[in-house]
Amino acid sequence: MALEHAILVSLRERSGTGYELARRFDKSIGFFWSASHQQIYRTLKRMVDLGWVTVTEVTQHGRPDKKVYEVGDGGLDELRRWLTQPGEPAAVRMELGLKLRGASFGDTDAVLAEIVSHRDQHAERLDVYRVFEKRDFPDPATLSGQRLHQYLVLRGGIRAEQALLDWCDEVIHAMKRDRR
Amino acid sequence: MALEHAILVSLRERSGTGYELARRFDKSIGFFWSASHQQIYRTLKRMVDLGWVTVTEVTQHGRPDKKVYEVGDGGLDELRRWLTQPGEPAAVRMELGLKLRGASFGDTDAVLAEIVSHRDQHAERLDVYRVFEKRDFPDPATLSGQRLHQYLVLRGGIRAEQALLDWCDEVIHAMKRDRR
DNA sequence: AGATGCAGTGCAACTAGTTGCATATGGGGG
DNA sequence: CCCCCATATGCAACTAGTTGCACTGCATCT
C-alpha cells in the first residue's frame, strides 16, 4: 500500500501531527492521493510500531494536546526502498465511463446531466491548479531538484483535469447531437 | 460500490458466467473498471441474494458445469436508480506523482527509470485503443445510442492514456535537463 | 445563551479489494 | 505418464478504505 509512503513523503517535507497531515491530504498531496483522518491516525500508529516514524507528545495551552510525528531512520530506509521498487501503472477507474456504457438501459438525459456537472467541477479544479502554477512556479525553466519535482506533479494534475474536461465536452457535444 | 453496477452493465449487454465476466474485466470493461475473479464470484452471489440477477446451472460435456447469470427485474431497477443518482468526480490517484514528489529523498534516477517504463506502457495501451477506434468505429459521425456511448468511453480511455503519456514525456524531458 | 467552526485524537463496524490456496474436467505437449 | 494450460467455481485470511460516532477546548458569530 502507498498511504504509508504518502505519509513518509509528506512528513519528510515537514514534520507534523495527524491532524495536519489530514489537512495536507485535503490540499496539495490530496490532489493525487486522498486519505481520511481515521486512516491517517491508524496508519501513523502502525508506522510507529514499525519504527518508521517517531512521535513526540506536545502539551498545548488553550487547545488539546497533540502528537508530532517525524520520519526516523527506518522510515528513510523504507522510503528509499520503495522509490527504487517498480510499481504497476495506475489502473484507470472511470465510474462515468461505466454509467455512459449503461446509459441506454436507463435515463440517458440523467447521465448527460451528471457529465455536465462533472465537467464544471473539473473546470473548477483546473482553474485552481492554473492559479497555483502561475503563483508558485512563474518561471519553470529555472526550477531544479525538489522544486522541479513539485512543479511536475502539479503539471500532472493539470493534464489529468484538462483531459477529463475535454472528454466531458466531447461527450456532451456528441450526446446532444445524437438527441436531435 | 460500483462493481455490482459494472456487472449489471456487462450482463445487460450480454448474459454470461462468472468466468466470462472475469475475461471481460480483463478486456473491454477492464479498461476503465478492473476486478478479480474472486471478487466477481462473491459479488454475483450477493446479487442473486438481492434479486438483481438470476442464475441457471448448465451441465457441460467435456468441461466443468457452469452458472449463467442474467439481469432480472430487480437488477434493471437498480441499474436505472444508479444511473440517475449523481456521484463524485473520480479522485485522481497517481502513485508516480507521489514517487516524484519523494524522489529527492532517494534515488532520483530510479524514479526517472520507472517513469520511462510507464511511458512505454501507456504508449502501448494507447496504440491498442487506437486500433480499436479505427477498426470498430471507422465513421464516428454516424454513430448513435449504445454504439455512440461505447465509442465515447473508448475516447475517454484514449484521452486518459494520451494525457499520461504526454505527462511522462514532459517529466522525462525536464528531469534529464535538470540532471545536466 | 446557543450554534458553529477549528484544532485535536480516536474506536467500532462496515464495505471493498487482494492473495493464496483448493478443486474438478479434459486437451495437448514433452 | 506427468505437467501445464484453459475452463470453471469457490473459501479463508488478509489489507485497504469508508462511515458514523464520541470526546475535549477555545474562539467567534448570531
**Length A111 CA → C10 C1' (Å):** 40
Which nucleotide C1' is nearest B19 CA? D8
> Is A180 part of the contact surface with chain B (CB cutoff 8 Å)?
no
Residue B159 lies in a domain: yes
Last residue of a domain, one of A28, A58, A84: A84
C-alpha cell of A59?
502539551
- Interchain CB distance below 8 Å, B89 and A121: yes
- Interchain CB distance below 8 Å, A32 and B98: yes
Residue B160 lies in a domain: yes
Judge contact between A1 and A32, C-beta under 8 A: no
User: What residue has its CA nearest to the C1' of C20?
Assistant: B38
- Interchain CB distance below 8 Å, B103 and A149: yes
> Is B172 part of the contact surface with chain A (CB cutoff 8 Å)?
no
- Interchain CB distance below 8 Å, B106 and A9: no
Rounded Cα distance between B70 and B18, Å, is: 11
Judge contact between B112 and B172, C-beta under 8 A: yes
Residue B77 lies in a domain: yes
Rounded Cα distance between A103 and A110, Å, is: 9
User: What residue has its CA nearest to the C1' of C12?
Assistant: A38
pLDDT of amino acid A30: 87
C-alpha cell of B95?
502513485
Judge contact between A155 and B163, C-beta under 8 A: no
A38 touches strand C (CB under 7 A): yes
Question: At B38, which CATH number?
Answer: 1.10.10.10
Residue A89 lies in a domain: no
Rounded Cα distance between B171 and A148, Å, is: 9
pLDDT of amino acid B24: 95
The number of residues in chain B equals: 180
CA–CA–CA angle B98, B99, B103 (5° rounding): 125
Please give the tally of structural domains in chain A: 2
Chain A nearest-CA distance from B66, in A, is 26
One domain, residues A31 and A60: yes
One domain, residues A118 and A75: no
One domain, residues A58 and A103: no
> In A, which residues are within 8 Å of B166 by CB distance?
159
**The pLDDT of residue B180 is above 90:** no
pLDDT of amino acid B31: 85
Confidence of residue B156 (pLDDT cuts 50, 70, 90): very high
Phi first, then psi: what are they for B67, rounded to 5°? -120, 120
Encode pLDDT of A69-88 as tens digits.
Answer: 999 999 999 999 999 999 98
Q: How far is CA A132 from the centre of its chain?
A: 15
pLDDT of amino acid A80: 96
Last residue of a domain, one of A38, A63, A84: A84
ipTM at complex level:
0.92
One domain, residues A107 and A169: yes
Q: What is the pTM of this model?
A: 0.93
Encode pLDDT of A10-38 as tens digits.
Answer: 999 999 999 999 999 998 898 889 999 99
Residue written as cell 513539485? Answer: A150
One domain, residues A62 and A18: yes
Residue B89 lies in a domain: no
| Section B10-24 average pLDDT | 96
Residue range of the domain that includes A131: 95-179
One domain, residues A115 and A169: yes
> What is the β-pairing status of strands A53-58 and B53-58?
unpaired
User: Of chain B residues 51-90, which have a CB less than 8 A from chain A?
Assistant: 76, 79-80, 82-84, 86-87, 89-90
Residue written as cell 456528441? Answer: A174
Encode pLDDT of A130-154 as tens digits.
Answer: 999 999 999 999 999 999 999 999 9
**The pLDDT of residue A166 is above 90:** yes
Encode pLDDT of B25-71 as tens digits.
Answer: 998 898 889 999 999 999 999 999 999 999 999 999 888 999 999 99
One domain, residues B74 and B99: no
One domain, residues A54 and A27: yes
Tell me if residue A61 falls in helix, strand or coil: coil
Q: What is the mean pLDDT of chain A?
A: 95
| Section B91-113 average pLDDT | 94
Residue A90 lies in a domain: no
- Interchain CB distance below 8 Å, B97 and A157: yes
Residue B166 lies in a domain: yes
Instruction: With both helix axes pointing from N to C terminus, report the angle between A145-179 and B95-102 in degrees, rounded to the nearest 10.
Output: 160
Closest CA to B90 of A144, A168, A12, A9: A168
One domain, residues B170 and B104: yes
Confidence of residue B92 (pLDDT cuts 50, 70, 90): confident
pLDDT of amino acid B62: 84
Name which of A12, A90, A167 is nearest B102 (Cβ-Cβ).
A12
One domain, residues B113 and B71: no
Confidence of residue A50 (pLDDT cuts 50, 70, 90): very high
Output B73 or A30, whichever has higher pLDDT.
B73
> Is B98 part of the contact surface with chain A (CB cutoff 8 Å)?
yes
